[in-house]
């Protein structure tokens, strides 16, 4: 793969990984009992809170995984 194609594939993988981590965070947050801390757990604000928390946690997880993949590639260059 040339530079531009490798960069495009890497970008696509990063986007898909980010979306998968956000979906995973959403799935995990649905099992959390945040309704105990909310006035109206069925309201729009509660749903927006779930979405924002999913994005925050999913982004952090995806950033870690993307960094980890980059670090793994760098270690391969150390011995190669």
Mean model confidence pLDDT for the chain: 90
CA 64/CA 37 separation, integer angstroms:
29
CA 65/CA 73 separation, integer angstroms:
12
CA 21/CA 17 separation, integer angstroms:
6
Average pLDDT of span 35-62: 92
Give the pTM: 0.84
Higher pLDDT, 56 or 2: 56
Q: Does residue 43 surpass a pLDDT of 80?
A: yes
Confidence tier at 11 by pLDDT (50, 70, 90): very high
């Amino acid at each position: 793969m040339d530079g531009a194609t490798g960069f495009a594939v890497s970008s696509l993988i990063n986007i898909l990984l980010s979306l998968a981590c956000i979906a995973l965070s959403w799935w995990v947050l649905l099992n959390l009992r945040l309704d105990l801390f909310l006035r109206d757990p069925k309201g729009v604000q509660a749903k927006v809170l779930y979405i924002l928390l999913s994005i925050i946690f999913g982004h952090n997880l995806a950033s870690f995984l993307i960094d980890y993949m980059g670090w793994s590639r760098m270690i391969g260059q150390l011995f190669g």
